[in-house]
Amino acid sequence: MSFAYTTQRILEIVGDDAEFSGEYIGEIAGIASLAEAMAGDLSFLGNPKYRDAVASSAASVLLLPRDYTETPKAGQLQIKLDNPSYALALLCRDMERSLQPLPAPGVHPTAFIDVDAIVSPAASIGPFCCIGKGAVVGAAVLEAHVCVGKYANVGDESHLFSQVVIGDYCVIGERNRLHPGCVIGSDGYGYEFIDGAHQRVPQIGNVVTEADVDVGANTAIDRARFGSTVIGAGTKIDNLVQIAHNVRIGKHCLIIGQSGISGSTELGNGVVLAGQAGVAGHLKIGDGAMIAGGAGVPHSLEPNAKVRGPTGEPMMLYNRIMVLQRRLPDLFKRFDKLEKSVESLPECGTIE
């Protein structure tokens, strides 16, 4: 991948309110970390712990926080902004459009589209896609081997990467990004044990994702037993996540890799579920709650709660417990020593 950006173009992208000092005449042809950057590269300071690395960086252009006061080297341009990391994201977004341009509208000759499906002329339908009876596809991009089920709906400007499956009757909102191998609308996991066997409970609902939802690779979101499993607008779901039937996730939540949410649980807005965390079923997780990586949550949480550990304890309490656990070996040694001291004391006579 190759690109070339003038400093003027960089300033146009990151914003007119940026402050800058120093000068670099030339183009930027690479992006690298502070330590690895060379002349002609752009780098940034997004984490304060790397602040000391700025002075020794060989990058020609540096995106820095406004409070950075060190002077640039000769031939080096410092661009100071409120959020250097987001400024870099804006720059990369512009690069992405040129490095990975969207395919032109049209239908690949190997794709199958049912005669009763409706596909926008602005859509791009890739090789070996399958669009079922009654499905509606807006001005979206469907890469190779995408399957859209019967009467499903895919919103405008959504991007479905290769081998995505959209189940029957499911609704994908506008500007969704569904990464390779994710499955929207697989059966909810429902069985009744009758006469010595597990009898399948039909799952006749659907999944609805609202606008600007991202779903990571190989994530599964199950259709509802009845009604809808709902993913709120702006929510971002990582790879390898399991979301069960009838779950309702609020707006702008972050669901991190290998986490799981059991059936009929409701997450409020702005909830963060960190990696490998699990939430039991039929719970309510309040707005702004944060669940730490590897935590298990067996009970509902109030808004803005912060929990850790296998039983979802308040974060500060769990931190104290962990500190005390580390002291247990020493405490046991002290207890053993104390016990032996007590046993060695002479027995006292009976007081008349």
Distance CA 54, CA 158 (A): 39
Query: 101, 110, 65: which is closest to 84 by C-alpha?
Result: 65
Query: Amino acid identity of 268?
Result: G
Query: 193, 192, 176: which is closest to 184 by C-alpha?
Result: 176
Residue 4: HSE in the Cβ half-sphere, 13 Å Cα cutoff: 3
CA torsion through residues 113, 115, 116, 121, sign: positive
Distance CA 171, CA 253 (A): 19
DSSP annotation of 224:
P
Question: What residues are annotated to the active site?
Answer: 245
- Give DSSP secondary structure letters for 127-177: TT-EE-TT-EE-S-EE-TT-EE-TT-EE-TT-EE-TT-EE-TT-EE-TT-E
